[in-house]
Amino acid sequence: MEVVRAMNYIAEINGFYARLLVYPLSSDAQALWGVLMHLCNRAGWPPEFTVASSTLLGLLGYSYSALSRARTELVEAGLITHVPREGRLAPWYRLHSICGKVVDKPVDKPCLTLVAKNCQP
């Protein structure tokens, strides 16, 4: 029996946003990645899962061509694998972990200035 290790949801999200500082993605691709991550989490982190395009279109409010472009962008970035299936079967998706990947130009916790009202040091 194969033991599958679940992704660390928060670590993956933090890694995704750190990666964007070096390798930007379109806002459509970012939103699609977030929805796929959410659905995978809700499904219990299976190594592969299916999602109907109509489901993604409903959640994201995209046209099919925008979904296709965003998906291609994520595949080319190495963040997901997308395997279409014949007929009207939903495609397979596999999310690739961002944690533990080496980035050519590492950005470790960039310094961000936050401004809050009534905040005392």
Average pLDDT of the chain to the nearest whole number: 82
Largest CA distance in the chain: 61
Please tell me the pTM assigned to this model: 0.79
pLDDT tens digit sequence for 92-109? 999 999 885 434 444 444
**For residue 97, what are the contacts with CB-CB under 8 A and spacing of at least 6?**
7, 12
Rounded distance between C-alpha atoms, residue 64 and residue 57, angstroms: 7
Q: Count Cβ neighbours within 10 Å for each residue of 5-15 and write b for 16 or more, e otherwise.
A: eebeeeebbeb
pLDDT at residue 13, as a whole number:
93
